[in-house]
Chains A and B, each alone.
Chain A
Amino acid sequence: MVSIAKRHVILLLAFGLLSIFRPDVANAAGCWSAPYSCHPGGDINPSTAATYEARYMAYAELAWRDFIALNFPAATSPQGKPEPAPSREHGLDYHGGDYTAVWQTWPEARDIFLPGAAVPAAFGTGHQTPANCLRTDASGRLELTDRIVLDEYVQANRMGPVIDKQGQYVRYGLSFNKPIFDYITANQLYSTEGQAAMDVNNPDRDKQTVRFPAGQYSGNDDPAMTGSIFVKSSWKILDASDNKSSFYRTQAYVYDEAGGAFADEPTVRERCSLKPIGLVGFHIVHLTRSAPQWVWATFEHVDNGPWLNDFTSTLKRDYTFFDAAKCAASGPASGGVPSCAFDTVPAEPWNPQRPGQTPTQLVRLAAPGKLALAVNEQYNNRIKKTYPDSVWANYFLVDVQFPTNVKATGGEQGAAVPNPAYPDGMPATSFLSNSTMETYIPGFFHGEITASGNRIPPDDQMRTIPPTGAVMPFSSTGPHTVSGGADRTTSSCVSCHSDASMTTGSSSDFVFSLSRAQSKGKLNLSTSGTKSGSAAGAGVLTGHEASSVVEYVMGTSKPEEPAGK
């Protein structure tokens, strides 16, 4: 007993000294004193993941830890500017859920892959503002903003937009953490020239030269071990008819580029306005040593829409993207299938400014898996217990996708590497989709047929067990879904992203955004430019100038700004 007490004293003294000289350590201790960490994890503990269930649970817990850490309130500078670190003062119940989260200080894709392959501004210094948002300083130069800029409204692979009940398009953002950002900038992968240099010894483009830094497991709360993370967020534009208090919310510049998201829709006019937005979906993609195909996790707001299973009983609530009354007008649900059409791609033209568009009737096919439900229950209870009013009690993990077949060693510092026979890692779960981001490819369900009229075999369907009863995303005892078997044809994160490449054609380590790189040339900050490359506006800065101009808008609550003057 005496020896233990002595050891404790020594540890406490050592930790106290560390806290004095290492502010981050003091912060880490504070984070751990909460019922969660406010730093992302680095990896699962490899020694506790010998079975499928243990590994699945470990990755699901890593996903939840990341989710909480990334959505922690951002620290602020004395001037009120949000910084890319968790707040020491505020927790998950801060400001009723209306705040700037840590990940929103990360650069967005449009901040990294700039017109003319300009050098991105330093990490955490703000976001490039489209010229039409009229963010200029006293000298008329375009400014950086702490508000994220949402310029995307068409889902990946041009699947189409999602339209809420008020007729507004769901908006999407894509942000990268510091390890990815540093890797991109160090290797100049924001430019086609930098990517070509990366492949200079890879003339056939058949090797993967890009290797983003992988996270490493640490028993301590060590942010330096995090590794690469990128996130994709989906947002509902909030108005008076929304129950705002149920959402994590902030304000963002909602930007429509002239000609549309892909410069092929001439009816879209350039428009930008500061809007209140509520989070409806959140992908977290985390590269770890145990998962060279990355760990894919997605979260959703509970009210996005009903599950298919819910139609076997009476729908109890209204939803953000499903009008139960309108659907019921088509007749009663039959056999667990709603009477109205659902998950239907909106008619073109896809123009968020076009009035009178039919809202999406969104129905979720897949409930979380059984083990994801168990982890949801655990984390939801922890959040509710500590912060009963936190908006984060309204978000759940849909599921995770991780590799089941890798070569356990062979990478740098003992990291796992892909097995050449299974470059996709044979992922589990086979399917993973977010109802707001992969709305139209959720997998097959019972009763569906192929384009040629063949029925979908049971093994390819998303099977919810039991097939009746409402889904309860925070209950480990409710209905859960088992993935179908035909992953390549519908939603599999890994299968899709394994085709991601740089502009050279070689693999980009599962990150599609590298294909947005442009050739070096004149920097024009007046356009978002990262997807279509179109140019409009006049604000021309050097990279140095861009990084030196920062505007602090943290904590302000500006009224909606009009479209460009």
Chain B
Amino acid sequence: MLNNSKKVKGPGMIKISRRDVLKTAGTIGGALLAPGLPFWSLAEAAPRERAPAGFVNLSSALLGIDAGVLNPVIRPDDVSMADVFYGLTVLAGKDSIANLLTAYDLMEKQHRRPGQIAQVLLASGDGPNTSMNGAFSRLITLMWLYGTWYGQTEINNIHTSASGIAADYQKDFVISSRAYKNAWIWRIAQTHPMGFSQFSFGSWASAPPSLADYGISLA
């Protein structure tokens, strides 16, 4: 969604424009936050099962961020956000995520570039892809960006998406504080989440870290 027209530089390294990302993410976020989110998560916050490589690579294609950066081998408390998000998608729509991963796997075998895959999954002509693959691609992208499950908003925008989302997940909610804290929107915006900061007192007087420090390549 964010980088579907960009070229691949190397394995997993996708060109994205920070302006594109911020513009797209900001627009979506502003629109989606408007209805008001439940304060706390209803989801299972702990990882339920290990995310398959296809899920991580699919996420990488959708976000334009290297898979190894999204899902590092060494991470706090050994909690993989990919595992958390994958487990949630299985609860929200077991068949839907399975079909999406099958579609992704097929395109990967066809040696399609990540940007092209994202284009196919997210867009249809000048509009959004209204298929279930499109719905879950959007939901996955938004999980990574905001740490939030936007089931209700997805259905509000595209009513047919309801058929592939389990009843308990046809709502919007923050997945967990860990998901919120690790939301990629904060890194893309080179800032920190509201209510938490890894930076020290007075850091606001200094230039923010580069996108490269976050593992985001603009090259």
Give me the interface of A with B, judged by CB distance under 8 Å. 50-53, 55-56, 204-206, 404-405, 419-424, 426-430, 454-455, 457-460, 463, 482-483, 485-486, 488, 495, 498-499, 501, 505, 507
A423 to B214 alpha-carbon distance, docked (Å): 11
Q: Which residues of B contact A50 (CB under 8 A)?
A: 73
Count contacts between A and B, CB distance < 8 Å: 96
Q: Is the CB of B202 within 8 A of A206?
A: yes
Mark each residue of chain B from 59 to 98: 1 if its CB lies under 8 Å from any CB of chain A, else 0.
Answer: 0000000000000111111110000000000000000000
Q: Is the CB of A463 within 8 A of B46?
A: yes
A110 to B15 alpha-carbon distance, docked (Å): 55
Across the interface, A457 reaches (CB within 8 A) one of B45, B75, B210, B213, namely B45
Is B198's CB within 8 Å of the partner chain A?
A: yes
7 residue pairs A–B, Cβ–Cβ below 8 Å: A404-B72, A404-B74, A419-B209, A423-B198, A459-B177, A486-B181, A507-B200
Min C-beta distance of A506 to chain B, whole Å: 9
Chain B stretch 23-47: residues in CB contact (< 8 A) with chain A: 39-41, 44-46
Is B178's CB within 8 Å of the partner chain A?
A: yes
Tell me the dominant secondary structure on chain A's binding face.
Answer: loop
Min C-beta distance of A421 to chain B, whole Å: 4
Nearest to B80 among chain A residues (CB) is: A52
Q: Is the CB of B46 within 8 A of A458?
A: yes
Q: Is the CB of B181 within 8 A of A422?
A: no
Given A459-B46, A460-B177, output 8 extra A-B contacts at Cβ < 8 Å: A52-B73, A53-B78, A206-B202, A206-B206, A426-B198, A455-B40, A457-B177, A485-B77
Q: A423-B199, A428-B78 are in contact. Are A485 and B178 (CB under 8 A)?
A: yes
Q: Is the CB of B209 within 8 A of A405?
A: no
Nearest to A429 among chain B residues (CB) is: B77
Q: Which residues of A contact B130 (CB under 8 A)?
A: none
Count chain A CB atoms within 10 A of each CB in B75, B76, B181, B197 and give the residue with the most: B76
Q: Is the CB of B76 within 8 A of A420?
A: no
Q: Which residues of A contact B210 (CB under 8 A)?
A: 420-421
Nearest to B213 among chain A residues (CB) is: A421
A405 to B202 alpha-carbon distance, docked (Å): 22
Q: Is the CB of A458 within 8 A of B45?
A: yes
Min C-beta distance of A273 to chain B, whole Å: 39
Q: Which residues of B contact A507 (CB under 8 A)?
A: 200
Q: Which residues of A contact B200 (CB under 8 A)?
A: 423, 498-499, 507
Q: Is the CB of A52 within 8 A of B75?
A: yes
Q: Is the CB of A206 within 8 A of B178?
A: no
Mark each residue of chain B from 175 to 187: 1 if its CB lies under 8 Å from any CB of chain A, else 0.
Answer: 0111101000001
Tell me the dominant secondary structure on chain B's binding face.
Answer: loop
Q: Is the CB of B198 within 8 A of A420?
A: no
Count chain B CB atoms within 10 A of each CB in A205, A428, A455 and give the residue with the most: A428
Min C-beta distance of A456 to chain B, whole Å: 9
Q: A50-B73, A52-B78, A405-B72 are in contact. Are A422 and B205 (CB under 8 A)?
A: no
Q: Which residues of B contact A51 (CB under 8 A)?
A: 73-74
Q: Is the CB of A459 within 8 A of B77?
A: no
Q: Is the CB of A457 within 8 A of B176?
A: yes
Q: Which residues of B contact A483 (CB under 8 A)?
A: 76-77
Min C-beta distance of A466 to chain B, whole Å: 14
A154 to B153 alpha-carbon distance, docked (Å): 50
Nearest to B199 among chain A residues (CB) is: A423
Q: Is the CB of B197 within 8 A of A488?
A: yes
A428 to B178 alpha-carbon distance, docked (Å): 13
Min C-beta distance of A289 to chain B, whole Å: 16
A354 to B199 alpha-carbon distance, docked (Å): 41
Q: A457-B177, A459-B41, A485-B181 are in contact. Are A428 and B209 (CB under 8 A)?
A: no
Q: Is the CB of B199 within 8 A of A482?
A: no
Q: A405-B72, A460-B177 are in contact. Are A499 and B201 (CB under 8 A)?
A: yes
A206 to B205 alpha-carbon distance, docked (Å): 8
Nearest first, the 10 A-B pairs at minimum CB distance are: A485-B178, A459-B45, A459-B176, A421-B213, A421-B209, A420-B209, A424-B198, A428-B76, A52-B78, A404-B74
Across the interface, A459 reaches (CB within 8 A) one of B76, B178, B201, namely B178
A495 to B197 alpha-carbon distance, docked (Å): 9
Q: Is the CB of A485 within 8 A of B177?
A: yes
Q: Is the CB of A422 within 8 A of B198?
A: yes
Q: Is the CB of B187 within 8 A of A421?
A: yes
Nearest to A55 among chain B residues (CB) is: B74
A495 to B76 alpha-carbon distance, docked (Å): 13
Q: Is the CB of A454 within 8 A of B209?
A: no
Q: Is the CB of A454 within 8 A of B46?
A: no
A458 to B196 alpha-carbon distance, docked (Å): 18
Q: Which residues of B contact A404 (CB under 8 A)?
A: 72, 74-76
Q: Is the CB of A426 within 8 A of B76?
A: yes
Q: Which residues of B contact A419 (CB under 8 A)?
A: 209, 213
Q: A459-B45, A459-B178, A485-B176 are in contact. Are A421 and B77 (CB under 8 A)?
A: no
Q: Which residues of B contact A495 (CB under 8 A)?
A: 198
Nearest to B78 among chain A residues (CB) is: A52
Min C-beta distance of A20 to chain B, whole Å: 44
Q: Is the CB of B41 within 8 A of A457?
A: yes
A56 to B76 alpha-carbon distance, docked (Å): 11
Chain B stretch 154-210: residues in CB contact (< 8 A) with chain A: 176-179, 181, 187, 196-202, 205-206, 209-210
A455 to B19 alpha-carbon distance, docked (Å): 38
Q: Is the CB of B196 within 8 A of A454?
A: no
Min C-beta distance of B93 to chain A, whole Å: 22
A422 to B39 alpha-carbon distance, docked (Å): 27
Count chain B CB atoms within 10 A of each CB in A56, A404, A455, A459 and give the residue with the most: A459
Q: Which residues of B contact A420 (CB under 8 A)?
A: 209-210, 213
Q: Which residues of B contact A505 (CB under 8 A)?
A: 202
